[in-house]
Structure 1
Amino acid sequence: MTYLAHTAHLQLASLASGTIGWILSLILTGIVQWREWDVANTTVITSGVAWVGIWRVCFFSDILVSSESRVMYCQRIGVLDSFVPPEIFAAQGLTIVAVIFVGMGKMTTIFALRKVYFGTEVEQWSQVYALFLIGGILYLISSVCILVPVVWNLHSVMTNQSIAFPQEFYMPSAPQTQQVGTALPLGIISCFLLLITGIFLVRYRLPSTSHAKVHPESRDHDEHDAGVSGTLSRETFSSMSSVLFSSVDQTSNSHLGIDNEAYEFDDKL
């Protein structure tokens, strides 16, 4: 098992930046504050301000709901509605693609980091590189998918573009003025974070084999070797002891001499 954690510090940091960018892209897709319209007729739009998002149009009204409290009135914008301008239509599709691609890139990055931090064989290094590369490309595509609708809608705000809303929306076709909503700055931040994440992942490089760090051998293996050595030592010691004692016995017997049969015969007499 080779240890590659020292090669993926930027990639680990990119996982955090990519997660923040993903959260911001989810918020960007759902909120209504893409474009802020200032309208002159406050009879229906009581506050004089309406918000145009990519999925809804909302404003506060005292008339459409009740006169005691101001309640936000919203109408849904569908993908197939004929009045939808191209910048909103593009935002509806591209933001969803970005959210899906970021999710796929995040999972790919997690798989690559798991191989890096839990160890991998030298033969599988190409898989780690491929996972980081695929994740980086997905993040880069997602950043472009966020950038295009954000810049397009920003241009529409700056040029005060109109939208021909249906009558049931109670919206004028053109506002007096337009301002940038909260969604556009969030989109710029999200795009930047996703772009940085993609660059970090694509720039991952594998180390040379000579600089690879190898995991130390397991403790169980060491204990097994120690047990075998201990067993061999005890056996060797036993054999040496038996040889030593046998030689001592032989030496002692040689000093005792041999019995004289004639002497034993005289004792009997």
Structure 2
Amino acid sequence: MTSLVSTSHLQLAAFALGTVGWILCTFSMGMVEWRVWHVDNTTVISSGIAWVGIWKVCFISYLHISPGYKEQFCHKFSGYDSFIPREIYVAQGLLLIAMFVGLVGLTATVFALRNVYMGIAHKTLITRFFLVGGLCYIFAGLCVLIPVSWNFYSVAQNQSISFPPSYYMPTSPAAQDAGAAIPIGIVAVILLLLSGTFSLSYRFPVATNTTVNPDGINLPSAVSEQEQSQEIRTTSRVIL
């Protein structure tokens, strides 16, 4: 039988890619640099640049407008803020789902690889774990793709957000760019989709048993005893 380890190289790569993709997904979710706003009013926003994330908005200010912070002012979003656009709400939910589902995929892949490298030739167990891992990777990648694409579209359209006065933010920026979280999210999507594809491509090795006859010739086990005995009788008749 072909070695289990020799048939699981792609799945090992899937685990590595899935791990990196999951880490990048989690990292981008916590970043505030989803949208980079360039504003004209530098009285409060001293640098003229504000960062809009999916959990909070931040900017640099030399005024003491936030307790405990002399330079950076951040205001966290709450679930009751009606001014938050839908793409941010969607990003919050889908990225949390992606983080959880991706972790399930990593766990399933670890169990499958554990059986492979320990030589536990349980076909159903191994294939099902790789199947679950692959589906989780792909689903997590799609959950990241939707908010990343939607927020990138909003940046390209220079869409505004009606922040309340307590945020010290203008309603619309002079211009805005995609922050670092968006390309990181795109890389996470690519890695998760690749890892899912590799996991789903696993094929359990097929057994090929052979038998050895007295003359030292390997005979396939598929040859039945009846066929062998018939061949012996035919040979005896020829000799007689």
Is the shorter-chain TM-score for this pair beyond 0.5, marking a shared fold? yes
Higher deviation after alignment, 124-133 or 138-147 = 124-133
Q: Partner of 2:145 in structure 1?
A: 147
SS at match of 1:209: coil
Question: Which residue identity does 2:176 align to in structure 1?
Answer: Q
Once the two structures are TM-superposed, the CA of residue 22 in structure 1 deviates from its matched residue by: 1.0
Q: C-alpha offsets along residues 200-230 of structure 1, whole Å, 9 cap, x if unaligned?
A: 001111111217xxxxxxxxxxxxxxxxxxx
Q: Partner of 1:95 in structure 2?
A: 95
Q: C-alpha offsets along residues 158-201 of structure 1, whole Å, 9 cap, x if unaligned?
A: 00001111111010110000001000000000000000000000
Once the two structures are TM-superposed, the CA of residue 79 in structure 1 deviates from its matched residue by: 2.9
Q: Partner of 1:15 in structure 2?
A: 15
SS at match of 2:59: strand
Question: Which residue identity does 2:31 align to in structure 1?
Answer: I
Residue 114 (1) aligns with residue 114 (2): yes
Question: Which residue identity does 1:210 align to in structure 2?
Answer: T
Residue 162 (1) aligns with residue 133 (2): no
Once the two structures are TM-superposed, the CA of residue 64 in structure 1 deviates from its matched residue by: 3.0
* Counterpart contact for 2:141–2:192, Cα < 8 Å: yes
Once the two structures are TM-superposed, the CA of residue 65 in structure 1 deviates from its matched residue by: 4.3
Q: C-alpha offsets along residues 121-179 of structure 1, whole Å, 9 cap, x if unaligned?
A: 4xx21111011001000000000000000000000000000111111101011000000
SS at match of 1:210: coil
Q: Partner of 1:199 in structure 2?
A: 197
Q: 1:133 aligns with which of 131, 134, 137?
A: 131
Residue 172 (1) aligns with residue 170 (2): yes
TM-score by length of 1: 0.74
Q: Partner of 1:189 in structure 2?
A: 187
Once the two structures are TM-superposed, the CA of residue 78 in structure 1 deviates from its matched residue by: 1.8
SS at match of 1:73: strand
2 CA distance for matches of 1:104 and 1:14? Answer: 14
Number of aligned residues? 207
2 CA distance for matches of 1:3 and 1:195? Answer: 27
1 CA distance for matches of 2:197 and 2:100? Answer: 19
Q: C-alpha offsets along residues 34-82 of structure 1, whole Å, 9 cap, x if unaligned?
A: 000001111111111000000010000011349xx96110000123321
* Counterpart contact for 1:2–1:119, Cα < 8 Å: no
1 CA distance for matches of 2:142 and 2:12? Answer: 22
Q: Partner of 1:261 in structure 2?
A: none
Larger Rg: 1
1 CA distance for matches of 2:111 and 2:98? Answer: 20
TM-score by length of 2: 0.83
Q: Kindly, what percent of the aligned residue pairs are identical?
A: 47
Displacement over 6 Å in runs of 4+: none
Question: Which residue identity does 2:165 align to in structure 1?
Answer: Q
Higher deviation after alignment, 79-88 or 137-146 = 79-88
Question: Which residue identity does 1:62 align to in structure 2?
Answer: Y
* Counterpart contact for 2:33–2:181, Cα < 8 Å: yes
